[in-house]
Structure 1
């Protein structure tokens, strides 16, 4: 792939929800990731359950669109990492459990993946890395490994999307938190966005920094200004 992520079909607004996600989120893609980890017999039942979770009606952003974008941008950027299949599998599960009323979504998602990984025969060290990959998406600490940095940067790539896609994302987040009174939401959202903007670097890895840092900062400034 050449050109920007937007030019290559990444981060395109899809307000009608008619996404063609089969290319990266179909069962064949799911099976390939497991095969790369040495698991030949994969669970279609687990795959279908996972997809049902991403299709839950309360999800406006943390849905199949987000999963598709993460998997696509990880491959597009192709940042140096140790185990790309582990990153991809963690991406499949990183928002497997999502309830905006709870604060333990990452923990429950990591536990689900750990159960599936154990039943699939993955060793303890691999399972431990997978668990940590999901837990780092809490974005409350620095990544402890290159793979964790790649996964976090992938999850945050939406901040560096086109203005149009970022605007859609911002509206999607508001819909997920529509139960929060607007003044409170504006205050909390401002804290989150300003937290990212205050970082010396939003993206840890050089590849993601080069691709998204400048656009992300412009998007954040615009979004914070709108909250005023």
Structure 2
């Protein structure tokens, strides 16, 4: 199924009386955002993989159809605003970590002075337009700062869905799922929160060639970070997953994905040294 057809199907289920052309415009803008040139991992491939993982969890009986559709709509928005580092924002290894730098990606660990995460940190504040504005709107405010990608994406979802036939409660669920993706804290098994957590982390359990490609893509997104700083920061992001009792929150994730995820994580941590 084409991505835009998946979008049409889910929004039709959630908002059957909504103006279809307006929601198609929203979906088209989201595809544009996912195709921004600074992205390497956070592209439509990641979106498609996440949607597929959510369908797999739904087919396993862990999500009702409406819950799954809400989670998939949240997936469209969850990295719609994605800022990465400008060279001028990168401290040298050994410098004190700037107060604004954090690691809000895949379960943010304590900051160790390396500005590395899997979702990115902000460029300098005078170079990017309002992330919620249409493409042709003049710049009005800075792009999100470190740890703000998820918040800005959640605000984009609320802005885009309000007045387009979505229930207020559903918009709240979508925004909540997006915000929860900042830290990937484990939830109780079951429900949209657990499914969304696991689908976003499906890549950790990908076949080894796809996982290795993902690792390369993340490095490319942070090409401006020196190797030593990258290895330290990236290890700090990934190691906590192996320290947990479980990487995943759903029954499917724990049974089907977790063993491969642990092998992949161990391999990458060994490479990082």
Compute the TM-score of the two structures, normalised by the length of structure 2: 0.72
Q: Secondary structure at the match of 1:65?
A: helix
Within-5 A mapping of 1:21-40: 23-26=1-4, 28-39=5-16, 40=18
Cα shift at 1:37: 0.4
2:78 is aligned with 1:94: yes
Within-5 A mapping of 1:44-193: 44-78=24-58, 79=60, 80-82=62-64, 83-99=67-83, 100-102=120-122, 103-143=147-187, 146-193=191-238
| Other-structure match for 1:220 | 265
Deviations 1:7-55 (A, max 9, x none): xxxxxxxxxxxxxxxx2412x2211111110244232222221111101
Tell me if the contact between 1:159 and 1:220 (Cα under 8 Å) persists in the aligned partners.
yes
Once the two structures are overlaid, the 10-residue window that deviates more, 35-44 or 58-67, is: 35-44
Tell me if the contact between 1:114 and 1:131 (Cα under 8 Å) persists in the aligned partners.
yes
Which structure would you say has the larger Rg? 2
Cα shift at 1:140: 4.8
Residue-pair matches, total:
205
Cα shift at 1:166: 0.4
2:255 to 206, 210, 219: 210
Aligned residues: CA RMSD: 1.5
Cα shift at 1:76: 2.5
Q: Secondary structure at the match of 1:183?
A: helix
Unaligned runs of 5+ in 2: 84-119, 123-146
Tell me if the contact between 1:24 and 1:71 (Cα under 8 Å) persists in the aligned partners.
no
Cα shift at 1:197: 1.2
| Other-structure match for 2:107 | none
Separation in 2 of the partners of 1:182 and 1:70? 29
Deviations 1:150-192 (A, max 9, x none): 0010000100011111000000000001111111000000011
The structure with the greater share of residues assigned to helix is: 1
